[in-house]
A and B are shown apart, each in its own frame.
Chain A
Amino acid sequence: MAAAETFLLPVGTGFRFCLLHRPPAGTPARAAVVVAPPFAEELNKSRRMIALTARQLADEGCVVLEADGHGCGDSSGDFADATWDDWIEDVVRAQRWLAERFDAPQWIWGVRAGALLACAALREVAAAGLLLWQPIVSGRQHLAAFLRVATAGALLREGAEPASVKSLLARLQSGEHVDVAGYSVAPAVARGLDAARVELPAVFRGRIACLEVTSAGAPTPAVVAAADAWARDGRVVALRAVSGPSFWQTTEIEVAPDLIAATAAMLREPAA
Chain B
Amino acid sequence: MDVYAGVLEVLDDVLSLQGRARRLAPDAALLGSVPELDSMAVASVIAALEERYGFVVDDDEIDGATFATVGSLADFVKAKLNA
Contact = CB atoms under 8 A, between A and B. Distances in A.
The interface size bin for chain A is: 20 to 34
A228 interface: no
B9 interface: yes
**Chain B residues touching A, majority SS:** helix
Given A155-B42, A251-B16, A251-B36, A220 B52 contact: yes
A153 interface: yes
Contacts of B48: 246, 249
Task: Identify which of B39, B52, B63 gathers the most chain A CB atoms within 10 Å of its CB.
Answer: B39
Interface residues of B, number: 36
A260 interface: no
Contacts of B54: 220-222
B50 A145 contact: yes
B49 to A, nearest CB: 11
Contacts of B38: 156
Interface in B32-73: 32, 36-44, 46-48, 50-54, 56, 58-60, 62-64, 67
B29 interface: no
A181 B39 CA distance: 9
Given A164-B59, A220-B54, A145 B46 contact: yes
Interface of B: 1, 6, 9-10, 12-16, 31-32, 36-44, 46-48, 50-54, 56, 58-60, 62-64, 67
Given A152-B39, A158-B64, A251-B16, 12 more contacts: A148-B42, A151-B59, A152-B42, A152-B43, A152-B46, A155-B64, A156-B31, A164-B60, A215-B10, A216-B52, A220-B52, A222-B54
